[in-house]
């Protein structure tokens, strides 16, 4: 009668049996516990490294400013060089134009065509 009142030995449900089996595999000192602990520690350390590198780039990275300054200097130098080339080209064309003799382009004993005149 007391068994009926207190309830007989109830068989544990399948979910509780599975959870008990899984938890027993992850007790301290088992290989799965060590693997899980290592994975968790690795994720935490990776996050700290990522945060540290982000802070380093945000607060202490001055290479960006150096590169920008060098790019600006290079661009100024390039513009100056192009301007020098343009000036030299203009001088060359002026020298060529000063040597231009339209009479030399006409056929012998013929008048100078209008397209060869300045």
Q: Is the pLDDT of residue 47 over 90?
A: yes
Q: How far apart are CA 102 and CA 115, in angstroms?
A: 10
**Greater confidence, 109 or 45?**
45
Say what the pTM is. Answer: 0.43
Place of tokens 């202490």: 60
Percent helix, percent strand, percent coil in the chain, to nearest 5 = 75, 0, 25
Hey, what are 61's tokens?
Answer: 């990275």
What percentage of residues in the chain have a pLDDT greater than 70? 91
Q: Is the pLDDT of residue 73 over 70?
A: yes
Residue 68's Cβ-count burial label (10 Å; 0-12, 13-18, 19+) is exposed
């Amino acid at each position: 009668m007391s068994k009926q009142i207190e309830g007989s030995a109830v068989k544990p449900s399948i979910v509780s049996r599975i959870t008990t089996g899984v938890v027993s595999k992850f007790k301290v000192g088992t290989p799965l516990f060590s693997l899980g602990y290592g994975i968790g520690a690795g994720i935490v350390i990776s996050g700290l490294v990522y945060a540290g590198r982000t802070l380093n780039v945000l607060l202490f990275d001055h290479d960006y400013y150096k590169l920008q300054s060098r790019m600006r200097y290079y661009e100024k130098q390039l513009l100056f060089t192009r301007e020098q080339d343009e000036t030299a080209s203009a001088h060359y064309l002026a020298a060529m134009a000063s040597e231009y003799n339209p009479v030399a382009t006409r056929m012998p004993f013929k008048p100078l065509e209008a397209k060869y005149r300045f």
